[in-house]
Structures are given as structure tokens and as C-alpha cells.
Amino acid sequence: MERWTLPNIMPVVFVLVIVFTIWSIYGRIHLSYLLQTGIFAGSYDDTDSSQAVQAQHFRGWVQFYISQFLTGMLLFCFGCAIFVDPGAVPSEPDWLPQDLTGDQEESDSAKHTAQSNTSAKGTSSCSAIAEETSAAGASLDVVAAEGGPVGAVAASAKAALLGKGASKGDSALGVSSDAATGNLPLVREEKVTGGRRWCKWCMQFKPDRCHHCRVCRICVLRMDHHCPWVANCVGYRNHKFFLLLVFYSVLASHFIIFTMLESVLRVLAEETEFWVRFQLVFGITLASMMALTVSAFLAFHLWMVINATTTIEFCEKRWARPMDALSTTTNPGDALKTINKNKLTTSMYDLGTLENFRAVLGPRVWLWWLPIDLPQDGGLRFQVSAEARKQAVSDEQAERSKSPPPAPAKLKGKGKRKEQKQIADLLASSDDHTDSSEFLPGEGKKNPEWTGLERSEAASKD
């Protein structure tokens, strides 16, 4: 694999060396003394009673089994975090552009070759499609701003063009009838311009919370971060293994510190060989440093799980409400300011502490501490909180009520005649245009009695 380069392997080797060093010192020095094996065989004092010897043996065996269990779980989760696929976007029509859906059976090697050759072409074609859609939407915005049946028809046409329902806030958050029946929307996260998120490297659309990793060179589902210590991305399918790795690292390091402290105090008070004393002091110092580091790391990741966010979302502060910021402005800069002003204090994916932990550690609470029973929701679609849905709808309604509609653009010459023809075609396809009392574009008076055909003829004569 391409990620297995020397710079990527070195952090993994470094972690293994630290684990082996602490485990070796703990077993060869501390446990050997308690069990009177190895270099400490037959080193009991003659004054020690049989009960004290038995108690020391019992304590040694208990510490042996607990330390070996914690170390074994740590190494197993470490291996799973390294070798388990974090989750990639499937090659399905929902995530592929139309011109690539027929190539789903292409082999991986051919696909990577095609990516390097067609990435520029695919990006330019997608940009062209986006420009055409934006131009068509802007043209319909001008018509919709005039109100009346003309504006209603134009607004419906724009909604069909964008693939959205009557309410943008409802559509974006899944408040529509599809969500009521249990069907989650395909995507909620969009670009500032309203388009779907696209990966130019993988040549596919991105699901929600999905990001492209430059090291692994794939789009990772619900990507948390790329961890150099496991030479892998932490994503939807191995997030539980990563959390358990940190969890068992904390337990193992603290257990070793508290139990090995007995041997450290003993060698400092008694006459002991230098290399035995040095190894015990070095081992407990190394374990203390690791315990401090991984404890802070575990606390941070547990906080993010409780708040239903990832490291990338935390760093990018991607808690903006998924509302259409362009509903009141056509300037992307103003739209970005609107998004930044309407930050949520919590993630929109926050469903409560219990459900947030289930989304990462699996549905069965009693199996959270074992590296089994992974989440089964697929990692492509995510539910949002009811508070986020209600807040987005109320915010959008407030924005629409206080913001005036954009002024219609003034067209001249051929552009004006083309716009009038588009309006006439829209009116011809409408069933309720006979009651219109609005101004006919291009005229200076109201004509409430005109039919759609007469409007079309007047527009064409102009």
C-alpha cells in the first residue's frame, strides 16, 4: 500500500517500542520480584512469614493477569486501528457523476490511472455545469422577484432546477415527508454556493462528514482525523478501535504506575543493583509521561463524542446551520458571513449523550468496552437533532421576513426579449395564469383580462 512508506512506519514502530519497553520492565523487574521468579528467585528474607509470602504471591498473580489483559487489549485495538479500513465512499450512482456511472466495474488500478488523466477535465466539466445551473437560477430569481403567478411559476421552476422542496430549510434538514417516513436525505452539507460537495481527486461526490485524506488518498466516511501513530485515518469503521486503543492505553499506564510504585520505593530505600534501580525509575517515568498524554487525549475525544463532532469539524468549526445562505443574497462573501453569524452552539448531529456514544461504539452498551459490535448505520447518512431542524426553519423564515427580495435586473436588447419569451413560456404551462393582475413585463399598465396566449403574443411582438 502507498501509505506504508518509511516516514509513515516510523511512528508505529515508535509506539511499539514504548509499549514493549514498559511491559518488559514491569514484567522482568516488578512482577518477577513479587512472584520470586527470574533474577529474584529465592530472594525471600528468612524473617518473612509464610502468610506474607502467600500474600505477595497472590498480589503478583493478580497484577500479572490484569496487566497482561490490558496490554493484550491495547495491542489488539492498535492492530485493528491500523489495518481496518476506515470506510470509503461506495461506487454507487448516488455518488458518481452521470458520465462515470457506466464505469463502476472498472478495476482499482485503472480507476487510479483514469483519475490522474481526467481530473482536470472532470473539474472543468463540473464547473461548467455549476455555472449553467447558477445562471439559470439567477434568471429565474429575476422573474420570481416580480411576485404573482409569474413569480410562483418561476420559483417552482427554480426549486425543480435545484432539486429542493418548498422550504429550503426543511429540505436541507430532512423535515420533509421523506424524513417523517424514516428516509434520510442523501446529503445535508453543501458548498456555500449551494452545490454538492465534490472530490476532484476521487472523482465522486462526498457524503456528509466525509473528507479526502491526502496520505491515504481516499475519501473517508465520517473522517475524524489522520493519525500518524496508527498510519491510518480514523473514520467511521475504525473509530471505535481507535477510542478503545486510547482507553486501554490510559488504563494500562495508570495501572502500571500505581502497582510498580511499590517496587520503586523499595529499591530507593534498600541497597539494590544500579541497573535494577535504573530500569524501575525509567519505566515508571516513561509510564507517567504516557499516562499524562493519553489521558488528556482520551478526555478530548470523549468530549467530542459527547458533542457528536469530529476533530475536523472541531478544528474547522463546522457547526453552521445547514441553511441556504444565498436565499437573501447572491454574493458568496455575504453568504459566508451569514453562515458564520448563525453558528450553532452544538453540532447539528447531536442526538443526546447516549445516542452519540452509540453512533461510535455500537448499539449495545454492554459491548462498548470490547472491540466488537460496530455501528451498523452505514456512515453515509446521519440524523440531525430536532432542535437543529426547528432552529434552521425558524431562522430561514425570519431571514425571509426581514430581508426584501432582490431587485430585478434590468435587461436590454436581446437579453430582454429572451427573458420575456421565457416568462411567456412559463405562463403558457401554468393553469392559474388567467387571474393575473401583475404588470406584463415590457408593458406599462395592468391587463387583468389577458390570457396566457395574449401575453405570449404581446411579448413576441415586442
Contact of 322 with 188, CB cutoff 8 Å: yes
Cell of 220: 473517508
82 HSE (CA, 13 A, CB side) = 20
Size (the chain), residues: 462
Q: Which residue, chain included where needed, has cell 512508506? A: 5
In this structure, how many other beta carbons lie within 10 angstroms of the beta carbon of residue 186? 16
Closest CA to 115 of 190, 218, 209, 220: 218
Residue of 210, 227, 233, 315 with catalytic role:
227
Instruction: For residue 104, give the C-alpha cell.
Output: 463502476
Output b/e per residue, 283-320; b: 16+ Cβ within 10 A.
bbebbeebbeebeeebeebeebbebbbbbbbbeeebbb
Q: Active site includes 227? A: yes
3-state SS of the chain: helix, strand, coil percent to 5?
60, 5, 35
Q: Which residues, at least 6 apart from 460, have a Cβ–Cβ distance to it below 8 Å? A: 421, 424
The whole-angstrom separation of Cα 169 and Cα 361 is 31
Residues carrying an active site annotation? 227
